[in-house]
Structure 1
Amino acid sequence: MYESFFHLTETPFSIAPNPHYLYMSQQHNEALAHLVYGVGRDGGFVLLTGEVGTGKTTVCRCFLEQIPKDTDVAFVLNPKLQVEELLATICDELSIPYIGDSISVKDYVDCINGFLLRQHSQGRHTVLIIDEAQNLSSDVLEQIRLLTNLETHEKKLLQIILLGQPELQDMFQQPELRQLSQRVTARFHLNALADEEVGPYVFHRLTVAGAVDPRAMFPAATIKRLFHISKGIPRIINLVCDRAMLGAYAKETRVVDTSILSNAAKEVLGYDVYSPTGKSPFFRNKWLPAAIGGGAGALIMIMVGLSYLYGLSGRDSIDTAAASPEPEIQTVSPPSIVSEPPPPPPSFNSTSVASPAAPLAVEDASGIEALSLAQAFQRAKHVQDAEAYQDLFAAWGIKYAPADNGSACRYADGLGLSCLSKLGSLGSIKHYGLPVIIRLFGAEGEERYVVIRYMDDRYADMYLGDSIQKVDLRDLDSYWRGHFSLLWKKPPSYHGPMHPGTIAPLSKWLAYHLDVWENNPTPSAGRSTYDTDLVERVKEFQRLVGESDDGVVGTGTLIQLSRRIDDSIPVLKVSGGDS
């Protein structure tokens, strides 16, 4: 989005737990050392806790990159499971075969114990990592404790690492969990970054993303403001900085000043980060709004009196100013995840102004009548994206009513779909190959949302009102600024981009569906490790479909794979065929 403007190779402030962006502060080094030390011990528990967004998962990902080759890892991302579900998940992660869904807890434990003994006989170690462990129930915690009883005469067979929020430490202080607490061999609590660490953290991420002079992009005053806003929480730093760089891009400046940063914080976080009371400074003193309002009223009365006395002609403008509401702080919510630049002032020489005098239709070479964009804009009925999502869901064969179903993206999530909003070109839309909502702007900045199901180099089929109309795209640049939204079918195990070497359930989904795409007669889910062989298969697929062949499995790669093998996914028809 803004990467090329700042001469970056990738987005520097993604909140995905990418270990390559981990800023190794002193406490992050210590946290990583505790994980490495804990795994080197003979069994037991290792606890890594920290506030939300302090980087626990990222530290763990970094740890996984350093784990010895003779170690097998089971990574449980969703701990809200029953005992049987947890044991089945461990078996899946370690590729331990079991038959049926109704086997007993003892059967699962016997399978796991047999696997651990075989691995031990071959000189291999096994580690179980559970993220968000504060959500574990007492029954599941007790079962996990019992798993540490699997041992030989010399050592425990299973090492367990628990990642969680501070309340996980409190759970281990409960009397009924004292046996569990006594088996903890290493504990570490990850705090927020200190004031002097925020600048190096920001500069580190920018440098990894390819920035030449990151200090010039975020001056000292901006870094100081950033600490006060974020309180040193890395995830909040990432969210605010990402939106701030987008704001700087919209203003065509490569310096993120305090004003841009403050606006970004308001969009992402609201006023809670600005004052201890959680309110805007304007409202901290209850008498201040009333005093200002009273003073403004008195001033207006004086001006109106003077206008009457001296025959001035400014009464209308004074009344208009008095009636104008205070500008509201706009917060961005899905799927509109980017802030649009302000609409350009109307050009009196422009041929794109929507008016009754604008051409209503043109004919293509085949004689089929097509609407001009001016006419299409006039006929478009959706003034909010929520309304347009009704048409987009209809393209998927799904009925959606905003009043009944609530937020479009939350509704989509419940159906196994996900919203994606992007800035791009018509080429980007064709590449994704899915029906899209595009946002159009009129001459006065008014907005309309339309859905596109078909597109070629000149024409598109747009949902206008209750019908689909053929529309000429020649004036598109006068109405469209590149924003589009779509729905895509998200794999159940997708939690963010998967990098080579990652251990995640998504690798199983990926291996199976690549087998289907490659016409393998016996598709197999494989292991949970995104290993070298699977990475090479992904790179080959990425090259064939026009994605960057970096081996990183993100939204683009998953969309390209899903729509090629799943007939239930509607495709964007391009030049008479699928893209």
Structure 2
Amino acid sequence: LMPRIHQWTRGVPRRINLLCDRALLGAYAESAQVVNREILDKAAAEVFGSMPSSAPAPSGRTTPRMPRWGWPLVAGSVLFGTTALTLAVVDRVREPDALGLASAEARRMSAPAGVAPPSTGRAALPLAPASAARPATAAGLTLMPSGLWGQLTPQADADAASLFDASPRDEASAWVTMAALWGIGVPTDASEDPCEAGARQGLQCYRSSGGLALIRQLGRPAVLTLRDETGRAAHAVLTGLTPRSAVLRMGGRAQSIPLSELTELWHGDFTTFWRAPPGYTGKLSSGQSGPAVDRLAAQLASWRGEPSPGQPVKVDDRLAARVSAFQVAQGLKPDGVAGAVTFMQLNRATGVDEPRLQTEWAAR
């Protein structure tokens, strides 16, 4: 697998660490004893999205020769990732509440009145790499690494009526669940808008009526508002999605529902969190400069496997062309303008620490 790792990473240490870490988690989730080519490629697709343009294509072409010093570097990164995974498994075995279903009494004891406690296990750094090897805690929930979401098997499929009856009527409950996934604290009542609470802790809200297609593309949990035939509203957090079913998290449990049933209650509108770059207030326009533009340039360079610019930049034709190329690779409209969706996909492609949508789970 060493030549394949070099194909995907081009020998860049940061990319090697990201790929090996995700591949090891994938092997663990599938109970595989070794990381094979299929697991490695799947992990690479999750981390990088596509093979770097200057690297050979996956099928049958000659792998570029790695320098003599490169093999120890790759091997060392794999060893480091293996150690991290082992520590994660040990931590998970020690954790008595592995599914995150902490008691209500424990939450009351640990949280200030009216506020869900923030996480102390996840740093809210916009460019922090995804710490997939260490669970974090927030609001009484154990946050499992994104690569191990498949271990959280949802309950059996529910019909629309029973799911609606089980969902909380107050939106604040859904936002407490969402905040727990992000490791932040939000009010447990309607005393403050959750988007304002998130903004104080480095997050922004993104609202859309783009439905399941956009949620699949963004690959992140979302708060949904459900309505029955009488117009009554209920709220849940979408945490998993497959071609035929969805997983909604309500309070301390996860419930699977066929998409045909979900669409009886939900019509495509959703809200989610995302980590915005510093100084971001809206789509970046031509000639604009500042921290948000610098972050954009740095993330694009990281995605391309290039060094960061290292100096202030502004939005010009060259940067817009890079944005457009990234948008094409991600299936976005290639307008060369960096807005919330482009930044969310950049965060995902460059390993920013954000919750991921569960896309498969163990058969019941």
| Aligned Cα root-mean-square deviation (Å) | 2.3
Corresponding residue SS for 2:236: strand
2:289 & 2:250 partners in 1: Cα distance?
Answer: 46
Check whether the contact 2:211–2:270 (CA below 8 A) recurs between aligned residues: no
1:572 and 2:361 are equivalent in the alignment: no
2:185 & 2:303 partners in 1: Cα distance?
Answer: 30
1:394 corresponds, among 169, 177, 180, to 180
Shift in alpha-carbon separation, 1:385–1:404, aligned structure 2, 3 A: closer
1:525 & 1:437 partners in 2: Cα distance?
Answer: 37
User: How far does the alpha carbon of each residue in 1:292-322 deviate from its partner, in whole angstroms, 9 at most, with x for none?
Assistant: xxxxxxxxxxxxxxxxxxxxxxxxxxxxxxx
User: How far does the alpha carbon of each residue in 1:188-247 deviate from its partner, in whole angstroms, 9 at most, with x for none?
Assistant: xxxxxxxxxxxxxxxxxxxxxxxxxxxxxxxxxxxxxxxxxxxxxxxxxxxxxxxxxxxx
2:327 corresponds, among 542, 545, 553, to 542
Shift in alpha-carbon separation, 1:415–1:375, aligned structure 2, 3 A: same
What displacement does 1:421 show?
1.4
The residue aligned with 1:177 is: none
1:480 & 1:537 partners in 2: Cα distance?
Answer: 37
Return the index of the structure with the highest Cα Rg. 1
What displacement does 1:549 show?
0.5
What displacement does 1:392 show?
0.7
Corresponding residue SS for 1:502: coil
Corresponding residue SS for 2:207: strand
1:507 and 2:293 are equivalent in the alignment: yes
The structure 1 segments of at least 4 consecutive aligned residues displaced by more than 4 Å after TM superposition are none
The residue aligned with 2:258 is: 472
1:532 and 2:311 are equivalent in the alignment: no
- Aligned letter for 1:378? D
1:422 & 1:445 partners in 2: Cα distance?
Answer: 20
What's the % identity of the aligned pairs? 27
Corresponding residue SS for 2:268: strand
1:379 & 1:573 partners in 2: Cα distance?
Answer: 21
- Aligned letter for 1:479? L
The residue aligned with 1:559 is: 344
The residue aligned with 1:439 is: 225
User: How far does the alpha carbon of each residue in 1:371-422 deviate from its partner, in whole angstroms, 9 at most, with x for none?
Assistant: 12222111112x2322210011111133433349732111100111011111
Check whether the contact 1:373–1:473 (CA below 8 A) recurs between aligned residues: no
- Aligned letter for 2:178? L
Corresponding residue SS for 1:486: strand
What displacement does 1:431 show?
1.3
Alignment map for 1:70-469 (pairs within 5 Å): 369-381=156-168, 383-403=169-189, 406-469=192-255
1:481 & 1:571 partners in 2: Cα distance?
Answer: 22
- Normalised by the length of structure 1, the TM-score is 0.34
What displacement does 1:474 show?
1.2
Check whether the contact 1:496–1:554 (CA below 8 A) recurs between aligned residues: yes
Check whether the contact 1:424–1:483 (CA below 8 A) recurs between aligned residues: yes
Corresponding residue SS for 2:164: helix
1:525 & 1:458 partners in 2: Cα distance?
Answer: 46
Structure 2 unaligned spans of 5+: 1-152
What displacement does 1:567 show?
4.2
1:403 & 1:369 partners in 2: Cα distance?
Answer: 30
Corresponding residue SS for 1:527: coil
Corresponding residue SS for 1:413: helix
Shift in alpha-carbon separation, 1:398–1:437, aligned structure 2, 3 A: same
- Aligned letter for 1:474? S
Structure 1, 473-482 or 455-464: larger mean CA deviation = 473-482
- Aligned letter for 1:386? A
- Aligned letter for 1:421? R
What displacement does 1:457 show?
1.2
The residue aligned with 1:207 is: none
The residue aligned with 2:283 is: 497
Corresponding residue SS for 1:474: helix
- Aligned letter for 1:558? F
- Aligned letter for 1:527? P
What displacement does 1:525 show?
4.1
Count matched residues. 209
- Aligned letter for 2:242? D
1:540 & 1:575 partners in 2: Cα distance?
Answer: 29
What displacement does 1:573 show?
2.3
Determine which structure has greater relative contact order: mean sequence separation of CA pairs < 8 Å that are 6+ residues apart, divided by chain length.
Answer: 2
Corresponding residue SS for 1:429: helix
What displacement does 1:513 show?
1.2
Shift in alpha-carbon separation, 1:371–1:396, aligned structure 2, 3 A: same
